Amino acid sequence: MTLGTGRAVSMTDEEFRLIRDLICDYCGIYFTESFKFLIERRLQPRLPVFGFVGFRDYYRLIKYGRDRELEFDEIVERVTTNETYFFREAYQLNALMDEVLPLVKEGGRSGRRLRIWSAGCSTGEEPYSVAMMLEDASAARGLAFDIFGNDISRKVLRTARAGVYTQASFRATSKEMLARHFVADGRTYRLADRIRNQVSFGHLNLVDGSALALLAPVDVILCRNVMIYFDPASRQRLIETFHRKLRPGGFLLLGHAESLINESTAFELWPLKNDMVYRKPEGSAPGPTP
Amino acid sequence: MTDTVRRRPAPGAGDRRQDEIRYQTVLELSRQGADAVPQLLVALGDGSWRVRRAAATALAAQPASTSLLAALTARLAVADNPGMRSAAAEVLLGIGDVAVAALAAGLASADVDFRKVVVEVLGGIGTKAAVAALLRDIDDQDDNVRSAVVEALGRAGGGETIELLRARLRVGGVDLLQRVYLLDALGRLGARLPWAELSPWVEQAPLARALLPLLGASGDRRAAAVLIEYLERGATVSRQIAVVSFAALIDSLGAAERAAVVAEMVARPGRLPAVLKLLQSNDDKVVAAAARIAALFDDPGAAPKILEACAQGTTADAGLRAVLSLGPKVVAPLLAAIDAVDIEARVLFLEAVEILGDAGVVPTLLELAAGPETRATETAVRVVGSLGGVESIEALLGLAKSGDKEIRQAAVMALVAIGGRHLEIVAERLRRLVAGGEVLPGWITALGALGRDRDRELVIGAVHHGDPDVRQAAIEAALAYGRDFPEEILAFSLSDEQPRVRSSAARALAAFPTSSAARALFAATKDPDDFVVAEALRGLGRSSTPEAVGALREGALSSSSPIAIAAIHSLVRLNPPGLASVAARAVQHADPEVAHEAVELALRMSASEASEFLTGCLSHRFWVVRSAAAEALLTRRIRVPAARLEECLQREPEAMIRTALQRLLLVSEAGA
């Protein structure tokens, strides 16, 4: 660690482009020119940590540096919006419990554990929301679940595993759910171990094919408000990965503003009462998607 | 599966194949020169966007002959193929000024739709000749074309256009739609009209959106009442325009008038909620203006809302400035609201607290430092360093031992910041810890940064510690002591078993201008670790021995990028003879960043050598090299023949580099 000065340094257009492209190569997240100010502002505090006076040196650090992976972790956490909260877009989670689960249950072998993957789970609110809702869902009775979340940022995963949240995470949480599943602890709320122990977390770069190869097939994928950050090529690869990882008849749930229109025809659009989700057709062969 | 909806049937494989064949054909045609123009013009009307796009790109690269311009202009008239019309417009826009005469001829057509498209393309070209053509058509017989002309002039016109549009605004008989376009065009041209010319229209609600920016630019305090009225009671879009215009108005007034206008705005505190509501806009300009105007109400309770709204976009600085203008009274409401906002807002809140707060907020900051999200907690720790006194030391020592690396780093930096105000107390506390056997890398880093002479021996001792993190921290702390640190200890550390310790030692040794340090660094250039070699080469940039220069020349051509970059950097510093040959080879490196660094060597070349080298680099395959070469030519004021620059400009796909080339062309033309 170097203790440098904290002067504001501006980022040239060229530096922005180099850093932006490197971030995209690393994790598929793409920023247009209009994000230059945001990238500059959020990465500026990293320069004094290394004693740098300009972004070119910082670019070289993340391109060649011994600990570049660690710094990318820092970058991703800073430049992505990790904003999430419990029971976000609750209508979709309700649809998962009331309509998707019965279908998945019907199609599965008896006695098999159902697997739910929260892809890009940030600080864990989404998979924990699913775990809390499964406690009450009638369709979940008698079933065993594996719920797991992944994110590219180790920092957000630390928060997820700790299960400690501030008030900002509860803007859509009822008092009843808060009281049932959390314990107030000073300025924060601690999630009950009963729920915390139901969710596993892992570090995973969604554009890293070799890391994704380790993931076993799943029944439901939640990937909400994640693909919007990706460049078209990475988005395409990710959709293909989702297709490969879903069991036939499994479901993909995207954010309310996201769709697979012009992206893939490998999924069926599956209308629900209050939502649209995507399903991998029954009988689809595992392996590469069309 | 009967209830399944397939949203988008897959296009037939045959269709896709046909599209691909036509696309490849157009690519082939694009290589055939002028003979292919007729077929490319046909392809401009293709059903596939990719094919049209390829044809447009190919046509834009053709010489702009009269027949080509006429053919392209004629295609603007084809109403039943909008794809072709857009593609033709795109080519004409790309051709620019040369196409104006052909387009202007089209304004004589009887086809109203065609004339309107021609007007839009002329507006997009926006050159003097295009504006002149538009001005000639300002009295077009058709209402829609006239409006389009005014709108196009709003994008392209200059001072002369403003006067003409003002004159038209004054004459009677202009219909409402025309007047909207006139006001809008004047606003976009940045016209500053006197109150007398604007006041006749303030009662006409349909004109509001076009009129409000002109009121904001008028510099007349009488405009304030109208803007306030719209801000309070207008439709959403009008309120958004009004707030931006009001902010512009107060900027243009003198101190006394500004105070009077601000007093007029804040006279009714009930207006504040209307302004705060505008913070939800998706337009950053509106958010920034609303933040500024909200701050005028001097209500500290508005501060959290302002910063929360400004945290995500490009408005963070505007929000911060607005909140800082309210003074220290915002600190309490910001800290009270901090748990309820997302991480970006939390960081921004803490930045405001850092500037406005005092030691009284440190206990709250330390509570936040124990929070779950690392970045907000890091910021809280940093602010403790800015505001805290000696009473914060123990808490920071605890945080500096926490499990999170970033928090540990932030706590050490905070301890150093407090040490800047209470040197003896902080340094003594750290010294006692180290002397008591608690030798942590953070303590050594902090002691080095505090830089007391009496701690030097302690830091030197840590170079021999069993923990490589401590050894590295001690060597990096040596940088703070400079040449007061024993050179031989650093030289010895070049044999450490940990490469990162050896890298730090090489970096620290660079501070010693001795021959023994140079010899040690030269030996380190044979290290098996690339990063150690790179640091050693960087250090050799202060030594001009033949061995050092030889090692740097060799390093500059290394296939390892960190080594090559460090060596080139040092060569630029040393400036030995014969750099041109090194530059010529290094610029061919497979890594764009090394090739880019090689361009720096031109700063040390003679004018003729640099001119030849840099001009050659303008055609390099890596855009970073072309960009650096263009900037270097500008910096050194080297004139490149205009023909060569024109040639580069034609081929250059990067807008950023085209701009630099155009500046070079100006330099070249000025010289001629």
* Whether B339 contacts chain A with CB within 8 A: yes
Amino acid identity of B109?
S
User: How much is the pLDDT for B544?
Assistant: 73
Nearest to A167 among B7, B340, B627 (CB): B340
Cβ contact B564:B539 at 8 Å? no
Q: What is the pLDDT of residues B403-434, one digit of tens each?
A: 788 899 999 999 999 999 999 999 999 999 99
Q: Among A3, A88, A159, A169, which would you mutate to test the B interface (most chain B Cβ atoms within 10 Å of its Cβ)?
A: A3
Report the residue from B314, B344, B627 with minimal CB separation from A37.
Answer: B314
Average of per-residue pLDDT across A196-206:
94
The predicted pLDDT at position A285 comes to 59
Would you state the pLDDT for residue A289? 43
Best to test chain A binding among B5, B8, B355, B623 (most A CBs inside 10 Å) = B8
> How large is the average pLDDT for residues B177-193?
87
| pLDDT at residue A3, rounded to an integer | 52
> Can you tell me the mean pLDDT for B647-657?
88
* DSSP string for residues in A205-242: -TT-HHHHTTPPPEEEEEE-SSGGGB-HHHHHHHHHHH
Q: How confident is the model at residue B672 (pLDDT cuts 50, 70, 90)?
A: low
Q: Cα–Cα distance between B660 and A80 in angstroms, integer? A: 32
pLDDT band at A127 (very low <50, low <70, confident <90, very high): very high
Q: For residue range B361-371, list pLDDT tens digits in order.
A: 999 999 999 88
* Structure confidence at residue B546 as a pLDDT band (50, 70, 90): confident
Kindly report the nearest CA distance between residue B333 and chain A, in angstroms.
16
Assigned CATH topology for domain A90-279: Rossmann fold (3.40.50)
Residue B263: pLDDT above 90?
yes
Among the partner-chain residues B343, B500, B627, the one whose CB lies closest to the CB of A82 is B343
CB contact under 8 A, B9 and A265: yes
The token pair that represents B95 in the structure block: 């051709």
- Collect all residues of chain A within an 8 Å Cβ-Cβ radius of residue B406: 74, 155
Pick from A252-256, B306-310, B578-582 the range whose average pLDDT is largest. B306-310
Higher pLDDT, B669 or B551: B551
What share of chain B in percent tops pLDDT 70?
Answer: 97
Candidates A64, A178, A189, partner chain B, best to mutate (most B CBs within 10 A): A64
Query: What is the CATH architecture of A13-79?
Result: Orthogonal Bundle (1.10)
The pLDDT assigned to B11 comes to 44
Tell me what pLDDT residue B19 has.
Answer: 77
Across chain B, what does the average pLDDT equal?
90
pLDDT at A1: 58
Chain B residues close to A166, C-beta within 8 Å: 339-340, 371-373
Q: Is B19 exposed, middle or buried (0-12, 13-18, 19+ CB in 10 A)?
A: middle
Strands A246-254 and A268-271, by their bridges, are unpaired
Tell me what pLDDT residue B345 has: 93
Q: Across residues A240-252, what is the average pLDDT? A: 93
Among the ranges given (A252-266, B293-307, B640-654), the one the predictor scored with the smallest mean pLDDT: A252-266
For the cut 60, the answer to whether the pLDDT of residue A167 exceeds it is yes
**Which of the four pLDDT bands, split at 50, 70 and 90, describes residue B601?**
very high
* Sign of torsion over alpha carbons B72, B74, B76, B79: negative
Model confidence over B68-88: pLDDT tens digits? 999 999 999 888 888 899 999
Chain B residues near residue A78 by CB distance under 8 angstroms: 375
* Partner-chain residue, chosen from B316, B372, B656, that has the shortest CB–CB distance to A162: B372
Chain A CB contacts of B340 under 8 Å are: 166-168, 171
pLDDT at position B350 is 96
Of B386 and A143, the structure prediction assigns the larger pLDDT to B386
**In degrees rounded to 5, what are phi and psi of residue A213?**
-60, -25
- Asked if B509 contacts B521 with a C-beta cutoff of 8 angstroms, the reply is yes
Nearest CA in chain B to A38: B314
Chain A nearest C-alpha distance from B403 (Å): 11
Which tens digit of pLDDT belongs to each residue from B604-624? 899 899 999 999 999 999 999
Average of per-residue pLDDT across A106-126: 87
Q: Mark yes or no for CB contact B624/A159 under 8 Å.
A: no
Residue of A nearest to B344 (CA): A81
User: Above 70 in pLDDT, residue B185?
Assistant: yes
Indicate whether B7 pLDDT > 50: no
Both tokens of B436, joined, read 């008591």
DSSP string of chain A? ------------HHHHHHHHHHHHHHH-B---GGGHHHHHHHHTTHHHHHT-SSHHHHHHHHHH-TTHHHHHHHHHHHHS-----TTTTHHHHHHIIIIIHHHHHHHSPTTPPEEEEEET-TTTHHHHHHHHHHHH-GGGTT--EEEEEEES-HHHHHHHHHTEE-GGGGTT--HHHHHHHEEEETTEEEE-HHHHTTEEEEE--TT-HHHHTTPPPEEEEEE-SSGGGB-HHHHHHHHHHHHHHEEEEEEEEE-TT---TTT-SSSEEEE-SS-EEEEPPTTPPSSS--
For residue B3, pLDDT beyond 50: no
* A155–B341 CB contact, under 8 Å: no
Q: In whole angstroms, how far apart are CA B615 and each of B627, B644, B647?
A: 11, 9, 12
Distance separating alpha carbons of residues A277 and B297, to the nearest angstrom: 47
* Out of A88-92, A225-229, B351-355, B613-617, least confident range: A225-229
Start and end residues for every CATH 3.40.50.150 domain found in chain A: 90-279
Nearest to A168 among B342, B406, B442 (CB): B342
Q: What type of residue is A93?
A: L
Q: Please determine, for residue B15, whether its predicted confidence score (pLDDT) is greater than 70.
A: no
Cβ-nearest to B372 among A37, A159, A261: A159
Average pLDDT over residues B627-633: 94
Percent of chain B with pLDDT over 90: 61
pLDDT, tens only, B124-150: 888 888 888 888 887 788 888 888 888
Which pLDDT score, from 0 to 100, does residue B117 have? 92
What does the pLDDT look like over B437-472, one tens digit per residue? 999 999 999 999 999 999 999 999 999 999 999 999
The residue in chain B having the minimum alpha-carbon distance to the alpha carbon of residue A259 is B7
Q: Is the pLDDT of residue A112 over 90?
A: no
Chain A contact for B367, CB < 8 A? yes
φ and ψ of A223, to 5 deg: -135, 80
Angle at Cα A89 formed by Cα A88 and Cα A90, nearest 5°?
Answer: 90
**Amino acid in the structure at residue B55:** A
First to last CA, chain A: 49
In this complex, do B445 and A74 lie within 8 Å of one another by their Cβ atoms?
A: no
pLDDT at B10 exceeding the cut of 60: no
What is the value of ipTM here, to two decimals? 0.83
Angle (deg, nearest 10), helices B592-600 and B623-635: 10
Q: Sort out which chain A residues have CB atoms less than 8 A from B346's CB and list them.
A: 168
pLDDT(A60) > 50:
yes
Q: How far is CA A96 from CA A266, A278, B121, in A?
A: 21, 12, 51
pLDDT score, position B314:
83
Comma-separated ranges of CATH 1.10.155 domains in chain A? 13-79
Q: CA of A163: which chain B residue's CA is closest?
A: B372
B570 CA: distance to closest CA in chain A (Å): 15
All residues of chain B having their beta carbon less than 8 Å from the beta carbon of residue A82 are: 343
B412: nearest CB among A1, A77, A279: A1
Output the DSSP codes for B380-396.
HHHHHHHH--GGGHHHH
Cα B399 → chain centroid? 35
Contact between chains at A164 and B368 (C-beta distance less than 8 A) = no
B367 CB neighbours in chain A (<8 A) are 186-187
**Range A175-180 average pLDDT:** 96
